[in-house]
Amino acid sequence: MKYLINFIQTKEVHKSLIYEQLKCTKEEALLLQHICMRYVKGMEEIPVLEMLQEKFSINEYDYLTKLELVKNLLNLGWIIQMSFGQIKAHDTSKLELLTTSVTPSISLLRLLEEGSLEIYLPEVNPYTDHLEYLQDQFDMVSLLHNIATFKQGYADNSLSIGRLKNKLSLLTSRIDERVKITQTPIDVEEFFKEKELDEKEKRIFLALLKEEYSGGEGLFRDMNTLIELISFDEYEKIKNRALLEDGSRLLSEEIIDYEEILNMFGGVSRSFYLEDDVLQRIIHPKKKKKVAKLKLGELVEEQDLFEYLKPNTTLDDVVLHPKTRETLENVVKQVDKGVFKKLKEWGIKDKRKGIDARIIFYGAAGTGKTMTAVSLAKTLKRPILSFDCSKILSMYVGESEKNVRKIFDDFKELSKKAKVDPILLLNEADQFLSARSEGAGSSADKMHNQMQNIFLEQIEKFEGILIATTNLLGNIDKAFSRRFNYKIEFKKPGKKQRLRLWQFMLPENADYEEGFAIETLAKHELTGGQINLIIKNTAYKVAVRDESVFGNKDFLEEIEKELGSSFDGAKSMGFKV
């Protein structure tokens, strides 16, 4: 108790052993000294009015000017304000302090007993198992909760927000350091990477996981409590509600869900929880191989119907006509909570989550239809499965009608096994979408019509996002046209768009001759696919030179070859033997 005795007995309080750690003025320290003297004599609660009159009574009302000292000590966390034995909120006005009492805080008592408030954390070692990691993360959640409750003024301790934040910073840094040196993968961290969760989404997840492990009373299931954990001001609270609204990533990717509960005031509140599959994966990591869902990519490799496309670009990376971009952005906005709410109120959507869209991309080859579909998937953080419709007849001669249904059945089965919601891309869907033959016709016509009828039926029942690409829209059957929400034309790029495509696709790290002019290249009417091919062919030619410098002439030669080799008419080119 040497620090306590030293503090009480020192006549010049600024020379006491703990003064520097108090971070307060001499006058404030004198008040603390007075409080501690009374405390060790058995007075747990010291009346503020009595204390100020005793210490500062030179003139009749001088003590009132010293209320600021008490307020500062409260804010520093060295004392707690009491009234009738209860801790009061810190937002009390200065004059209200006169009728209350104060007592030393836990922080002050600890400082007086140990001589320091420095936080000493154990040596940084790798995590030995996921439970050790979770214990640190749950401590982090508790600290966040303490900070939130302290700010609201009804905390049951008096640690200042500053000290709590300091401890939080030290703990989170320590967790990061331990994760870095841990060789064995930690299941929760792997899950975070897989789902690309940001820091706020991670904290919501960990709070709900703590609730599962603790078997508590549901404190961290409440929406407002979860929002408090990740918000440091009122503006953030409003903004962060979107993380727990319908259409948010945590809900749309089925990481968490909620129950609506009628409260005692007649209102409806939400109680959140982790989805069972997610919970089992985290709580029973050793059983992961038995219970974990199969990855979509692995499932696709085991069959020969679909191709699993891996997106490298988002819609922001694609050069699109403004109208096309606007339409696609409207599709993306279906996940917006405000948009979803309106659609649900109007009776347009009856499901709580997900995007429903059947889209036709039509236009000349090379205009970016497939690339845009894949980029849309990346933007929505969805996988995408592609089926080449031109193969349907050659693959299943005599059984085409049966196997049109198989496309959709297998797609649903893959989605169910992988527990994901991929986009279905039907490339070159012309023969499915073209006008049906009228009259009896040949057996081939009958088979084709039957195949299209089944295709029409499957589109009608399809849930999710389906994109069909075709070169021509004019000969599409009206029955199909009515069943697609969006029909988006991909025109050959204009000069301004071609210029952007050249700028986007040209190698960044290459050398170009003096006076190199992209504008000259952009004059030629080429699609994005053609520009990409020309750049590759030119690169192969330039790379073999001793001085690998690109010039306009190199590209113009390849442009001439590409335009001359068009299979639309004029002239063809090939190898001579």
SS (H, E, C) 81-140: EEECCEECCCCCCHHHHCCCEEEECHHHHHHHHHCCCCCCCCCCCCCCCHHHHHHHHHHH
Strand-pair category, 357-363 with 486-490: parallel
Q: Which residue has the tokens 């040949």?
A: 442
pLDDT of residue 85: 44
Query: 254-263, 393-402, 458-467: which has the highest mean pLDDT?
Result: 458-467
| 379 band by pLDDT with thresholds 50, 70 and 90 | confident
As given in the structure block, the two tokens for residue 29 are 């320290």
Domain map (residue ranges) of the chain: 2-114, 130-287, 296-490, 495-564
- Give the integer Cα–Cα distance in Å for 101 and 87: 10
The answer to whether 524 touches 559, Cβ cutoff 8 Å, is yes
* pLDDT computed for residue 159 by the predictor: 44
Question: In the prediction, which pLDDT does 22 show?
Answer: 86
Residue 437's nearest CA partner among 451, 448, 424, 426 is 448
Residue 326 burial by Cβ neighbours in a 10 Å radius (0-12, 13-18, 19+): exposed
> Which residues are paired to 81 by β-bridges?
102
Q: Which CATH class is domain 296-490?
A: alpha beta
CATH class as words, domain 495-564: mainly alpha
Residue range 497-508: average pLDDT? 89
**Domain 2-114 of CATH type 1.10.357:** no
Between CA 293 and CA 421 the distance in angstroms is 13
What is the crossing angle of helices 130-152 and 199-214, to 10°?
100
Closest C-alpha to 256, from 244, 271, 274: 274
Find the range with the poorest average confidence among 47-61, 369-383, 384-398: 384-398
Q: Which residues of 520-538 are buried (b: 16+ CB within 10 A; e: fewer)?
A: ebbebebbbbbbbebbebb
Q: Is the model's pLDDT at 286 over the cut of 70? A: no
Q: Fold identical between 296-490 and 495-564?
A: no
Element (H, E) at 493: none
Answer whether 0.75 is exceeded by the pTM: no
Mean pLDDT computed over every residue of the chain: 80
46/49 Cα distance (integer angstroms): 9
Please return the burial class of 469, using the count of CB atoms within 10 Å of its CB with bins 0-12, 13-18 and 19+.
Answer: buried
Per residue in 313-364, pLDDT tens?
Answer: 888 888 877 888 888 888 777 766 667 677 777 777 665 456 778 898 888 8
